[in-house]
Structure 1
Amino acid sequence: MNFFRTTLLLAAMTGLFMAIGYLLGGSGGMMIAFIFALGMNLFSYWNSDKMVLRMHNAMEVDAHSAPEYYEIVEKLAQSAGLPMPKVYVINSDQPNAFATGRSPQHAAVAASTGLLNRLTYEEVAGVMAHELAHIKNYDILTMTVTATFAGAISMLANFALFFGGSRDREGGGLGIIGTIALMILAPLAASIVQMAISRTREYEADKVGAEICGQPMWLASALAKIANAAGRTANVTAEQHPETAHMFIINPLSGQKMDNLFSTHPDTQNRIDALQSLQSEWYGGQSPLKVSSGATLGASQRRGQMQQDAGSDGPWGGGAARKDDNQPGPWG
């Protein structure tokens, strides 16, 4: 199913690329776009993960340079039955994270310094479990290739004004209205594909991530904190490369208030509600600790939740090293 979904995505993006080529250069333009798209498919499969990490100036870390963060990923990878991915840090105050790669054997996870500083040990575990769920579900190839194609389509559409204007002078072409429409509609079509892919996979990754770490509320609390801070903290690199926005756990460009067609991510409160329902289902119908995207768990509530978690299953079994609420994050 994942192979079919990726193949369908590549076919759709290639078709869109060829259509733009035809509008800009007729049959010759379509053939050039087709050849370019084939090359992009091969390049994206082997190198798109490296491109995305480079775009965001991600720095690889290990057990010596980032012991807590690396330990979290290592334990969760073992729990999920996955090979250990490469671990990266992004120097950004905005709390966020993403996963990339073409397969579980060639995967990487990246978290921002803002996320590592603001979240507790358990909340970071919830976020990284979500990212490992994307790896386990083979979402990473689909999402990374989509980012590469979306960027190329936007770039090609921006050329429309130049090429369209040249063809207008030769008596053909789209005309100024058609050219402007192409510049708007082509990136929009690519964005809709990105949104559809991201939105349909985030809920599933939340669920599988909760299964990996054993605690839905860890991710629910993390999502509330991230959403609360992300809308108020600029991610300069993401703004420069908006085609990668769908890869992050929370939209890095702007806070979205509605779960609508034009949001790269589902509404955060809807995701939190789904995780709270999962918590209630797993633990005997008990009323879960309520979290909203407008507020984070209070210190006393978090300590109570951690005490409840101490006897639970998951990679930490009967208890992991807990970080006091007043202690700085691993990068503090």
Structure 2
Amino acid sequence: MLGNWFKTTILMAAIVALFGLVGAALGGAGGMLIALVIAAAMNVYAYWFSDKAVLKMYGAEEITADNVQFRNYYQMVRSLAENAQLPMPKVYVINETQPNAFATGRNPENAAVAATLGIMQILSERELRGVMAHELAHVKNRDTLISTISATVAGAIASIAQFGMLFGGGHHENGERNVNPVIGILVMLLAPLAASLIQMAISRSREFEADRGGAEICRDPQALASALEKIHNYAHRIPNETAEAHPETAQMMIINPLSGRSFDSLFSTHPRTEERIAKLMQLANLY
């Protein structure tokens, strides 16, 4: 637990430090402030309203305890939320054949969890319980806030890289630029790349932590490990058209929903499934 949190903290510090370096090199104090304000405004909006937008995007249907068809699913989430000492989240079903699930919401009091019909068809009840425990761990860990902060800084870095050479902070008093053009171009090209790599690494570290937290909530690491293996195998073969059209939502899913992309890439939002399973199996000895 401490290892993943420490890694996340180091990565968050790294992306903030990168922001400061790029701002100083290209945009100066004024440009750095403008970029941060713009990126922060965009991500504050996303933080408050993205949950509704993504649920609508995926055509998610909210269910209640009165829904006969999904009563077991709803009661499962309720039981797990009690185990995790969390408020009861809103529960959704997505009419999608690819097996997947995600959590959203700005805090535990305004959280929602969603699962596809596909995941309910291929997983046993025990395995589905492990998956929903993983999603509730994201809620408990406030991973939406962490991803919003990292996205804010990464967005600010991208803005500075695009417009930084236009800001006044990059000039001498006599009006000449104090940034070597070659260095400036390299920074503009490489800084957003570095920010993306750090952001993806943060996302991967939070997946590991949600796996550990999910195992603790359901007290059955093997069930989650088995579920991850099944979902991984099916997700490779069954396309998710909504995810393909909106790849920015891929990081929300328990398994990368995008086809034709390397799951082992530095740009992957998810760790290698084999590594996640191995860590879960190590935890199994504790239960």
Give the TM interval when normalised to the shorter protein.
Answer: 0.7 to 0.9
Pick one of 201, 216, 236 that aligns with 1:211.
216
Distance 2:191 2:52 in 1: 25
Once the two structures are superposed, what CA deviation does each residue of 1:264-293 show, in whole Å capped at 9, x if it has no partner?
A: 2111111112222222333xxxxxxxxxxx
**Could you tell me whether the CA contact under 8 Å between 2:36 and 2:153 is conserved in 1?**
no
How far apart, in 2, do the equivalents of 1:59 and 1:155 lie? 35
Q: Secondary structure at the match of 1:99?
A: strand
Change (3 A) 1:49 1:157: farther
In structure 2, C-alpha distance between the alignment counterparts of 1:148 and 1:234, rounded to whole Å: 30
CA shift for structure 1 position 140 = 2.7
The alignment partner of 1:202 has SS state of helix
Structure 1 residue 147: deviation in Å?
A: 5.8
Partner of 1:70: 74
- Match for 1:281: what amino acid? L
Richer in helix (by share): 2
Deviation at 1:89?
2.1
Instruction: Decide whether aligned partners of structure 1 residues 9 and 248 sit closer, same or farther in structure 2, where only a CA change above 3 A counts.
Output: same
Cα distance change, pair 11–115 in 1 and its aligned pair in 2 (3 A): same
Residue 239 (structure 1) shift? 1.9
Output aligned runs, 1:82-121, within 5 Å: 82-121=86-125
Amino acid at match of 1:123: E
Verify: 1:238 aligned to 2:240, yes or no.
no
Could you tell me how far apart the structure 1 residues matched to 2:253 and 2:22 are?
29
The runs of 4+ residues in structure 1 deviating greater than 4 Å are 8-20, 25-32, 144-150, 152-160, 178-182, 184-187
Structure 1's unaligned 5+ residue stretches are 164-171, 283-332
CA displacement, residues 16-75 of structure 1 (integer Å, 9 cap, x when unaligned) = 59959x96x988765543332242243233223233333433332222333122111111
Are the equivalent residues in 1 in contact too, given 2:94–2:115 (CA < 8 A)? yes
Post-superposition offset of 1:202 = 1.7
TM-score (structure 2 length as normaliser): 0.74
Q: Relative to 1, partners in 2 of residues 1:79 and 1:27: Cα closer, same or farther, differing over 3 Å?
A: closer
Aligned residue for 2:103, secondary structure, equals strand
| TM-fit CA distance, 1:125 | 0.6
The match for 1:318 is none
Distance (whole Å) between structure 2 residues aligned to residue 120 and residue 157 of structure 1: 48
Higher relative contact order (CA 8 A, sep 6+): 2
Shift in alpha-carbon separation, 1:262–1:15, aligned structure 2, 3 A:
closer
Evaluate the alpha carbon distance shift between residue 34 and residue 215 of structure 1 in structure 2; reply closer, same or farther with a 3 A threshold: closer
Runs of 5+ consecutive residues of structure 2 not aligned to the other structure: 167-176
